[in-house]
Amino acid sequence: MSHTNQIEAEWDEYRRALRPTDQAIFDRLFEYAQLHTDPSTVHKPLFVETPILISILLEQQIQIDDLVDRLDHVEDDLNDRG
């Protein structure tokens, strides 16, 4: 079991207390963490959850940047029409 999976298992009781829609979002956060587990294995933080949280933030920022780029293109298309 990976370190991320172990921590996810430790949070299982919290996850079960969430509404079903929030459970899906919670699960997605750990999916984000799995996308960036390689860099987190080389860092020895004070708190073991830190690399997972950074991985989640990294993936969310990647997605935010992608959405901003897509929105910019939509706005450019709308301005070109007007």
**Which tokens sit at 40?**
């987190």
Convert the pLDDT of each residue in 4-60 to its tens digit: 788 889 889 999 999 999 899 889 888 888 887 766 566 666 677 877 887 888 889
What's this model's pTM, rounded to 2 decimal places?
A: 0.61
The label of the residue with tokens 């699960």 reads 27
Q: Classify the C-alpha dihedral 39-43-49-53 as positive or negative.
A: negative
pLDDT for res 43? 62
CA distance 17 to 15: 5
Find all residues with CB under 8 Å of 58, minimum gap 6, and list them. Answer: 32, 36
Mean pLDDT over 55-80 rounds to 92
